[in-house]
Amino acid sequence: MSLPSPQRAARVALATAAGLLLAGCAQMQMGSPDAKTTATGSAAGSTTENASSQLEKCASSLGTVAVYEDTNAPWYGILTGQMKLGSTSPVLKLLIQQSNCFVVVDRGRAMNNMMQERALNQMGELRQGSKFGKGQMVSADYTMSPTITFSNNNAGGMGGGLGGLSRGAGVLGAVVGAVNVKEASTLLTLVDNRSGVQLAAAEGSARNMDFGAMGALFGSGFGAGGGGYTNTAEGKVIVAAFTDSYNNLVRAVRNYKAQEVKGGLGTGGNLGVQGAQEAQGGKGKRTR
């Protein structure tokens, strides 16, 4: 019987070690730190539990805000279609409430349920004292809109740097080459609902090394355990990028100073065009 080659023996040893490690981690772990994103914990009113220590916070709220997610945008189709991830709104609402910088009012799918209850009340189907009369809903002072500017599932593996190593390092090269770098860049905008003026905009980004691709090296046994994290790694990076965006937005609004236009907002601006004065009957601004 021929003895296995050193390379094959090394791969078998690594696969065995990985299998034993995964067997020890096979139990269900509720609240596992490895499964968390940067949006952690909970919020109820002004009370928070286990919020991220990196999340920016405010001593007092700046107003009410609704989160609007453009489900027709190309990035949303990629997020939910190709990446198989859900809406970003729940994560943003958690971050917003935990920060205490804004009070969240719902204008999303839950709004349909709110209106349904009011419709039932108008039809007389609700019990007396249900208190669904008019004039109770809170207005949204601002609208916050998220956008994913890009998300790269493989911004560059680490295997290229091993090309010059000896043939004996083949196993190591295969392991390191299976590491993917995931990146995401996001944007948040904040608009005043009464005037339509954009008050703030903030970019955010995140980067992470994903080791899930090593499942292909050790076969289906490792892939079954590691594949779950691979499928969610993109989501974790996107949540981290949105957390960075939100932190940047909070830092900006803390030092907010309203933009001013000479003559007032929406009165024609100060960049004149030829013929504007004549078109307004001689009452317009001077052309420049």
Summarised one tens digit per residue, pLDDT across range 254-275 is: 999 999 999 899 988 888 888 8
Summarised one tens digit per residue, pLDDT across range 133-184 is: 889 999 999 999 999 998 766 555 544 444 444 444 454 444 445 566 788 9
Please give the pLDDT value at position 178.
52
Q: How confident is the model at residue 84 (pLDDT cuts 50, 70, 90)?
A: confident
- Mean pLDDT computed over 19-37: 67
Please give the pLDDT value at position 146.
97
Please give the pLDDT value at position 210.
64
Burial call 202-241: b when 16+ CB within 10 Å, e when fewer: bebbbeeebebbbbebbeeebbebbeeebebbbbbbbbbb
Tokens matching residue 269: 């601006």
Please give the pLDDT value at position 271.
87
Residue 61 · residue 262 · CB < 8 Å: no
Please give the pLDDT value at position 179.
60
Q: Which of 34-48, 62-76, 217-231: highest mean pLDDT?
A: 62-76
Q: Tell me what the pLDDT averaged over the chain comes to.
A: 80
